[in-house]
Amino acid sequence: MTLIEAEAKYIQPTYTRQPITLTRGSGARVWDSEGREYIDCIAGVAVNVCGHCHPKIVEAIRTQAETLIHTSNLYYTEPQIKLAEELANLTGLDRIFFCNSGTEAVEAAMKLVRRATGKTDFIASENSFHGRTLGALSLTHTEKYRKPFEPLIPGVTFVRYDDAAAIAAAITPDTAAVVLEAVQGEGGIHIASTEYLREVREICDSNDVLLILDEVQTGFGRTGTWFAYEHYGIKPDIMTMAKALGSGFPIGAMASREDLLFGRGEHGATFAGSPLACAAALATISVIRDEGLVERSRTLGAHLREGLQSIESLAGNKVREVRGIGLMVGIDFETGCGDLVNMARERGVLLNCTADTVLRFLPPLVITESEIDQVMAVVEQL
Ligand SMILES: Cc1ncc(COP(=O)(O)O)c(C=O)c1O
């Protein structure tokens, strides 16, 4: 039985995979089991910001694994507390709750909001993606992800993205929080306007409603700032993070204002904030800082977008728009772009297609300018 046959036999058929088996990665490149090399422009879906197997992150994981892997939260551990301090400083928020994924960070935010406000309801956006567990799924708009699992939690209203008046109109006395992505990732790289987020902040303040920003995909330099909210001159009350935080070692976190607190025992998770996960995250943050990856995302992102702007159509599929911020970039086509993903892969570039028509670029932030030029040369000829 081949590996692909064994996957079909033993693994739940939830994933549509591309027909290659990846075996190794370094920097912005990965290799498959046939020894073919690819420039990875998807980075584990915005995870490998520091590239694959960055030596400092490998070393931090190795050293921590030799010292202490897991203890549970029955005890204090230094990496967790140090990481909480780093995240509080980076996010401008006060308190951190650790977990293991993006969806868990969103669950934590939902529970905290209900706990702290005594109110039950949420306003989320059309096109949103916040995760797959039942709470986070209730905030996720895409019908095909929700439908088989209904009824989800009640009290979630979806309104048009980038429309502050729609949020104001949807607020009721039961509204606890507005939940938004400053840049919708899975929804197709839609970037909130500055006026919108500023207005939403004001609407939340004047109605005593909390603002949760989901930075699971946009965090840690992806958009050219540490967090996307920094582009807007506003601050959320609660922020969710995951993906890039551990460079691929699973870890998520929720940051919140000082006055929004759980009581003891009201939330928790066995693996949350393990020494190993936190060591991976601390090393990730120091590599982002030491190698100037946030600035790199800004300048290389501008270079990539500029190069892609001139493309009018690929393989007969007309371009509607090239959108992006930092190294979070999408080409929106008139029709589905799955075949373009296959063509690019056959020419040595890994991309993905989101929201059916958006060819998405989320390369590691360590990608070089010449690698980006190679990617653009491949894409232009599709
Ligand atoms: C904005 C956003 N929130 C939450 C999630 C869920 O994260 P995870 O897959 O780690 O549960 C994602 C995943 O793509 C995301 O993009």
**Based on the domain organization, do 185 and 327 belong to the same domain?**
no
Query: CA nearest 288: which of 227, 334, 339, 220?
Result: 220
Q: The whole model's pTM is what? A: 0.98
How much is the pLDDT for 369? 98
Closest ligand 1 atom, residue 186 Cα: 16
The alpha carbon of 313 and the centre of ligand 1 are apart by a number of angstroms equal to 30
Q: Where among 269, 290, 311 does a domain terminate? A: 290
Query: CA nearest 359: which of 262, 373, 22, 378?
Result: 378
Task: Find where tokens 């939690």 sit.
Answer: 153
Q: Which residues contact 246 (CB under 8 A, 6 or more apart)?
A: 277, 280, 281, 284
Query: CA nearest 61: which of 72, 50, 45, 76?
Result: 50
Q: Give, using CA atoms, the residue closest to atom 8 of ligand 1.
A: 102
The alpha carbon of 67 and the centre of ligand 1 are apart by a number of angstroms equal to 31
Q: What is the CATH number of the domain that holds 208?
A: 3.40.640.10
**Based on the domain organization, do 206 and 74 belong to the same domain?**
yes
Q: Where among 267, 290, 313 does a domain terminate? A: 290
The alpha carbon of 140 and the centre of ligand 1 are apart by a number of angstroms equal to 10
The alpha carbon of 108 and the centre of ligand 1 are apart by a number of angstroms equal to 13
Query: CA nearest 294: which of 255, 326, 251, 325?
Result: 326
CB 231 within 8 A of CB 33: no
Q: Give, using CA atoms, the residue closest to atom 4 of ligand 1.
A: 130
**Based on the domain organization, do 302 and 279 belong to the same domain?**
no
**Based on the domain organization, do 133 and 269 belong to the same domain?**
yes
What totals of helices (H) and strands (E) does the chain contain, helices first?
13, 18
Q: Give, using CA atoms, the residue closest to atom 10 of ligand 1.
A: 102
**Based on the domain organization, do 209 and 315 belong to the same domain?**
no
**Based on the domain organization, do 7 and 28 belong to the same domain?**
yes
**Based on the domain organization, do 207 and 151 belong to the same domain?**
yes
CB 211 within 8 A of CB 236: yes
Asked if the structure places residue 221 within a domain, the reply is yes
**Based on the domain organization, do 141 and 276 belong to the same domain?**
yes
How much is the pLDDT for 57? 98
Asked if the structure places residue 63 within a domain, the reply is no
Asked if the structure places residue 59 within a domain, the reply is no
How much is the pLDDT for 147? 97
**Based on the domain organization, do 22 and 166 belong to the same domain?**
no
- Hey, what amino acid is at 95? R
Active site residues: 129, 214, 243
Q: Where among 221, 255, 290 does a domain terminate? A: 290
Range of the domain at 183: 68-290
Pocket test for ligand 1, best of 243, 251, 271 (most atoms within 8 A of CB): 243
How much is the pLDDT for 356? 96
Closest ligand 1 atom, residue 184 Cα: 1
Residues in the chain: 382
How much is the pLDDT for 229? 98
**Based on the domain organization, do 24 and 124 belong to the same domain?**
no
Please give all residues whose beta carbon lies within 6 A of any atom in ligand 1, as ranges: 45, 101-103, 106, 129-131, 181, 185-186, 214, 216-217, 242
How much is the pLDDT for 208? 98
How much is the pLDDT for 227? 98
Task: Find where tokens 């949420």 sit.
Answer: 122
Asked if the structure places residue 195 within a domain, the reply is yes
Q: Give, using CA atoms, the residue closest to atom 13 of ligand 1.
A: 131
Asked if the structure places residue 334 within a domain, the reply is yes
The alpha carbon of 129 and the centre of ligand 1 are apart by a number of angstroms equal to 7
- Tokens for 250, please give them: 């699973």
Q: What is the CATH number of the domain that holds 307?
A: 3.90.1150.10
Asked if the structure places residue 21 within a domain, the reply is yes
**Based on the domain organization, do 321 and 188 belong to the same domain?**
no
Q: How far apart are CA 315 and CA 323, in angstroms?
A: 19
Closest ligand 1 atom, residue 131 Cα: 6
Asked if the structure places residue 260 within a domain, the reply is yes
Asked if the structure places residue 62 within a domain, the reply is no
Pairing assessment for the beta strands 313-314 and 252-256 based on DSSP bridges: unpaired
Q: pLDDT by residue for the chain (382 residues), tens digit each?
A: 999 999 999 999 999 999 999 999 999 999 999 999 999 999 999 999 999 999 999 999 999 999 999 999 999 999 999 999 999 999 999 999 999 999 999 999 999 999 999 999 999 999 999 999 999 999 999 999 999 999 999 999 999 999 999 999 999 999 999 999 999 999 999 999 999 999 999 999 999 999 999 999 999 999 999 999 999 999 999 999 999 999 999 999 999 999 999 999 999 999 999 999 999 999 999 999 999 999 999 999 999 999 999 999 999 999 999 999 999 999 999 999 999 999 999 999 999 999 999 999 999 999 999 999 999 999 999 9
> How many domains are there within the chain?
2
**Based on the domain organization, do 309 and 256 belong to the same domain?**
no
